[in-house]
Structure 1
Amino acid sequence: MITPISTTLTDDIQKKIDFKTKPIGSLGVLEKIALQISQIQNTLTPELNNPAVVVFAGDHGIVKNKPVSPYPQEVTQQMVLNFTQGGAAINVFCKQNSIDLYIVDAGVNGTFEYNEKLLNHKIADGTSDYSEGKAMSENECKAALEAGEKVIQKLHNQGTNIVGFGEMGIGNTSAASLLMSYFTNTPIEKCVGKGTGLDDNGVNTKGEILRTVFDLHKNDIQNPIDVLTSFGGFEIVMLCGAMLEAARLQMTILVDGFIVTSALLAAHAIDKNVLDYCIFSHTSGEQGHEKMLSYLNVKPILNLGMRLGEGSGVAVAYPIIKSAVNFLNEMATFESANVSEAE
């Protein structure tokens, strides 16, 4: 059970924001972020402790049999290795902004040698092909949800109170499109995008394939868990479990792009209070993401046309979030600076 964020200090927090040496509202979105984080932590002096980004990686069985991605499945494993070697965009941005990065093997179709930078929570070597049956069993789904919870519990025990989420998995924009279609009641064709770089014909083909997949499963779905077992990837299910646990532990959640938001749609269907703890880093260039954000009635911080995934939007937006907390804690008030207020 997720507790809604506290509003007991809202008036005091807002007064603190308003009495800084600036016109009321002049720091725009920064003021809203400062208020939200202060409410999450129920304090007038919020802190961002041990910020982290967790990237969950997994493979999707449909990629082996259907043309939903221009990249072969082995790219997932290759990119995970790239993460552990520090060569990806998310590595660069996390290093730049002093964010701890954790990579999780949720269900990559391949094996890895031991690496301290890679957390092994593998459920299986990728999901089953959901064009033929369910992506996973109910037991596998439950195990993935619990694995996501465990990752967050470990970070929380280490003192982390703000966590961002990313993902890696060839084919996972297809799973995200299916989740979006179901949870937002949007035709699948309006959810499907270019993913890792399909051309227009490829997008159309992908849409046709996913329409058949959706129709195959839709009558058997009774609840959010059924949606995840039918369409999800292990990385998406772990994201869902991780976000629910982070909210339960009253951590600030930084949401990345299209795939991470699809996992949030599932988490939101399970417990709507999860949204109280979420800050949305950016609008993805993937066409369905803006519709997802509209469905959730939320506004992201940035719109840079990014659609890389990996949590890259989170890491790029983090300095803005840090600025929101810093101005609240460090900026002078009219009284302390002997500056006259507006009459």
Structure 2
Amino acid sequence: MLLENTIGAIGELFPEPMAAAQSRLDSLIKPPGSLGRLEELAVRLAGMTGNPRPVINDRVIIIMAGDHGVVAEGVSAAPQEITHQQIPAFLQGVAGIGVLGKLAGTRLVVVDVGVAVPVDYPGVLQRKVRAGTGNIARGPAMTREEALQAVEVGIQVVRGEIDRGATLVGLGDMGIGNTTPSSAIAAALGGFAPEEVTGRGTLVNDEVLRRKVAVVTRALEVNRPDPADGLDVLAKVGGLEIAGLTGVILGAAARRVPVVIDGFITTAAAMVAAALQPRSRNFMIASHLSGEQGHRLMLEHLGLVPMLHLNMRLGEGTGAALAMPLVEAACRVINEMASFSEAGIADLETDKLLR
């Protein structure tokens, strides 16, 4: 089975390239560690790729789109139609991710894995598993078989992009109402109370926020997702685009390609991926800390530290796009900076500097 084979192919970070990368960084014409987390990222990239001098070339952001039956509970201020109406703006380059994706020099791949209506826009990958999920406040989001199918859509899509030459993968999402299932996933897998991880989403007021918390609580009570089974959590309280993104993470990790996580929804997918294969965390890079409540707890659960703190919560892959140049910067530092010997500069005597 594709999912089982993919999970089995995900390995650990390679220690030897990491040690070589660290040695190289320590030899460069700068005080040791003075580039902070860029140096840490360069070492991690060496471990991910097996290359002590990693390089980022072609990059892609994969945006999964799907709708949610739970919007019937009044958990979103935006109408469900926005999901399919927004997709052309992605591809035309005028949505947030279109603008920031161009800035980052990344391709955008938009996948319809579960939009409620037919999506016939040119350039959209048609991979619909079903037309939106069920209402998680009343029953499961989808069957286990549908969740598996959506995960495998993500694996197939990212494999294709890596075969095309992608060396860095970013995650994006589109789906009105998807902060509610993401909150349910976070609560189920992280052991958090619904009120800890349920935020305002699309600018909902206090009354709607209370409703969202109640809906997440009810979804967990009605469906009883098994936190030991990531696929069960996806099927019962998840979303089709979240399942697709889970597959993207697993598929990239199996090919040792780094994955840049975006915000709240893509981090829910990352939690599912980690539940299915804990080693997939090795290949995740957290782009930013979302303004959405609960995101910090989710990242802490995964052991990830965000690179940016911009109070963003748009989704779409916007945070991933902004972080991609930082990933490239880490690679350029290790490859293009000179060492003391290469530059003909006397090495710093660190012990004297610290006295």
* TM-score range for the pair, normalised by the shorter chain length: over 0.9
In the alignment, structure 1 residue 109 sits paired with structure 2 residue 148: no
1:167 to 170, 173, 189: 173
Match of 1:150 in 2: 156
Deviations 1:186-221 (A, max 9, x none): 001111001011112211121112211111111777
| Identical residues among aligned pairs (%) | 36
Q: Structure 1 residues 75, 326: closer, same or farther in 2, change over 3 A?
A: same
In the alignment, structure 1 residue 30 sits paired with structure 2 residue 38: yes
In the alignment, structure 1 residue 307 sits paired with structure 2 residue 313: yes
Q: How far did residue 11 of structure 1 move?
A: 2.0
Q: Which amino acid aligns with 2:41?
A: I
Give the whole-Å Cα distance in 2 for the aligned partners of 1:155 and 1:285: 30
Structure 1: gaps of 5 or more residues:
none
In the alignment, structure 1 residue 213 sits paired with structure 2 residue 223: no
Give the whole-Å Cα distance in 1 for the aligned partners of 2:156 and 2:36: 36
Q: Which amino acid aligns with 1:107?
A: G
Conserved 8 A contact 2:167-2:258: yes
Match of 2:28 in 1: 20
Give the whole-Å Cα distance in 2 for the aligned partners of 1:194 and 1:332: 48
Deviations 1:262-303 (A, max 9, x none): 011011011000011111100000011001111122211001
Secondary structure of 1:206's aligned partner = helix
Match of 1:55 in 2: 63
TM normalised by structure 2 equals 0.94
Q: How far did residue 114 of structure 1 move?
A: 4.8
1:342 to 336, 345, 348: 348
Q: Structure 1 residues 220, 5: closer, same or farther in 2, change over 3 A?
A: closer
Match of 1:81 in 2: 88
Deviations 1:116-156 (A, max 9, x none): 2x111111110111122111011211110110111011011
Give the whole-Å Cα distance in 2 for the aligned partners of 1:272 and 1:221: 13
Conserved 8 A contact 2:225-2:237: no
Match of 1:283 in 2: 289
1:224 to 197, 219, 230: 230
TM normalised by structure 1 equals 0.97
Give the whole-Å Cα distance in 1 for the aligned partners of 2:49 and 2:141: 38
Match of 1:298 in 2: 304
Conserved 8 A contact 2:29-2:337: yes
Spell out the pairing of 1:197-276 with structure 2 (5 A cutoff): 197-218=203-224, 223-276=229-282
Q: Structure 1 residues 40, 62: closer, same or farther in 2, change over 3 A?
A: same
Q: How far did residue 37 of structure 1 move?
A: 0.8
Match of 2:100 in 1: 93
Q: Which amino acid aligns with 2:55?
A: E
Which structure 1 residue ranges, 4+ long, deviate > 4 Å from structure 2? 219-222
1:10 to 12, 18, 32: 18
Q: Which amino acid aligns with 1:28?
A: G
